[in-house]
Each structure stands twice: as structure tokens, then as C-alpha cells.
Amino acid sequence: MIVVVMGFSGSGKSFIASILHQDFGFEWIRSDVIRKELAGLKQEERVRVGFGESIYSEEWTKRVYQEMIERAKKAHAAGKDVVLDATFLKKWQRKMVEEYFDKVLFLMAEAQEEEIERRLHSREDISDADFSVYLKQKEIFEPPEKALIINTQRSKEEIKAELQKVLGIPSASDSQEPC
């Protein structure tokens, strides 16, 4: 199974991806990690450039997404479920994934703007995005035609239960025999 977790910076994409990875065994392919690897940077190294510049240019993004797809193809061929974690704000970015995989489930992480702002101000993470990046992302966003919205302002348990339902993964209580 290929799952794309998309949305604005600070929306909770990586939180959803981490649940899929830790709780359901998905191979987690994260654009932030790959972008810094390709740039020869350490994960904790900060890149402060204007929106869409340097390693955040469209050319770099195509390169990063292509590498994500290559890694996903290898993992998928090995029988693994894969989660791709990136903004995927543009139609061409989502189309790249659809060109390589027959079935892709798109999940759109969402949170209220006040929550996103709070998260981005307090973030200690590999991502370089701040609130100004989020505001620029809103300007260029091309809404997906098909994506299931996941509200990330809920508990991990609530999100996990929703993911189980969406992905058709039985919960521990579903598999218990009645006494």
C-alpha cells in the first residue's frame, strides 16, 4: 500500500506518518530527510532561504520527490507498505506519485491556522519551515481532487483509530475472541 500524507507545513503530516510507521510498520519516506541528504547537509542543519529558493526551488523539489518515489518503488517491490511524507501542494507533485503506483491513498493533514502557527513557532524538527513559509504555501496551494482529510488536532489514539478504519487494519479489540 502506498499512502501519501500531504498538507501545509505544521499541519501534522509527520505526526500521521509516524503513526503509520511506528504502529503499522509502514516504511516512512520523508521529504525533509531526503532533501537534506541530497544537499549534503546534516539533518539538524538549518537552511534559511526565501520561499522557493535554493534547496526549496521547484527544480530541487522535483529531484526530492523523484528520489522519494524511487525509494518507495524499492520498498514496495520488497512487499512493504510505504508512507510518503511531504507537502504535495501542487497537482504535478501528486501526479508524479500516481504515474508510478496504481493505487495511492492521499491523506490531507489539517489543523486550524492558530494551531499551525503555534506548532511552527515551537518546532524543533528537521523541517526548515516557519509560519511565513506556511503563508506562502497557502498562496500556491492547488487543492487535491481526492484526499481524505485527517484532523491532527486530536489525540494520537483517535488518529490511529481513524487510520485503522481508513486502511482496513483491524484493531486489537477486533481480533479478540469472545469469551
Is 103 part of a structural domain of the chain? yes
Copy the grid coordinates of residue 27.
516504511
69-116 pLDDT, tens digit per residue, is: 999 999 999 999 999 999 999 999 999 999 999 899 999 999 999 999
179 falls within a domain: no
3-state secondary structure 31-47: HHHHHHHHHCCCCCCCC
Which residue range(s) make up the domain with 89?
2-167
Q: How many domains does the chain have?
A: 1
Least confident span in 15-24, 48-57, 149-158 = 48-57
- Answer whether residue 177 is part of any domain: no
From CA 83, how far away is CA 156, in angstroms rounded? Answer: 17
- On the question of pLDDT at 179 being above 50, the answer is no
Residue 174, domain member (yes or no)? no
Q: Residue 119 belongs to a domain with what CATH number?
A: 3.40.50.300
User: Is 89 within a domain?
Assistant: yes
Residue 165 grid cell = 478504519
